[in-house]
Amino acid sequence: MNRRWQLAHGRHLDLGEKAVVMGILNVTPNSFSDGGLFDAPDRALEQALRMVAEGAAIIDVGGESTRPGAAPVTADEEQQRVLPIIEMLAKRGGVLISIDTYRAETARLALAAGAHIVNDVWGLQREPEIAEVAARAGAGVVIMHTGRDREKLADVIADQRLFLEKSLEIARRAGIGDNHIVLDPGFGFNKETAGENLELMARFGELHALGFPLLAGTSRKRFIGTVTGREAAERAAGTAATSVILRLKGADLFRVHDVAINVDALAMTDAMLAHDPIRQEP
């Protein structure tokens, strides 16, 4: 199903016909696979432009590691890390910019600096006022499922519905239109075993019942390492395999560290789907 995702600053992104790749830009010293590589603005900009050249339509800028056990940072620290690179990318124009944050004030400043999308790994539930910030700016919003800091239901899809429906209620109460929303099932975020993540992949198509475009964020996750036996920085091929599987199950966007291999894998997937006479839209 083709849908138009409405974003801040009068921008939009058409989803459905072609897979869309979001490049991960962690401007942090301690992210799980690339911490410290891009925490200086010049290196961050170079990496962002490399990902755009490789085919990323969106650059997702994050200033606080979300890996398990990572030390939290203050809002000021986060903002000092992300705002300079967002400003530099916005001045260049063209690329869409996402801010990876759960903090309302960081989101407000990032959107003012030129970001188009708010990507909240706490699904608007850590600081619900972030939904009001996104609504006022007309931003696109990625609402992610997480199992952290709460009791989960045993069934992986039932738990997705439980959490995401609460998030959607927050979004709608704040005035975020449905055409601004993408959902992310949050692979790896307190999905405690490889099996739980693999079941979520296998049943991914059931999430279409929620009625929104879906983002897949499997990049370099631990469950890929469990299956392949590879360390985080060596999981590009495994990640690309998950991207293909999830595209076949109807995912629209793919948040990845290694852009080129995923762009190529998804291009082949889309080319095959375009020639499938019995293709059914999810």
Residues designated catalytic:
221, 255
- Tokens (6 digits) for 141: 């919003």
Q: Which two tokens stand for residue 31?
A: 């992210």
Are 101 and 124 in contact by the 8 Å Cβ rule? The answer is no
> Taking the CA of residue 142 as centre, how many other CA atoms within 13 Å lie in the half-sphere pointing to its CB?
28
70-to-35, 147, 152 alpha-carbon distances in Å: 11, 16, 22
The neighbouring-strand residues paired with 144 are: 184
The burial class, CB within 10 Å (0-12 / 13-18 / 19+), for 70 is middle
Q: Please name the residues in contact with 148: beta carbons below 8 A apart, sequence gap of 6 or more.
A: 189, 190
CA angle (129, 255, 177) in 5-degree steps: 40
- DSSP designation for 280: -
Residue burial 244-266, b: 16+ Cβ < 10 Å; e: rest: bbbbbbbbbbbbbbbbbbbbebb
Tokens of 12: 């939009």
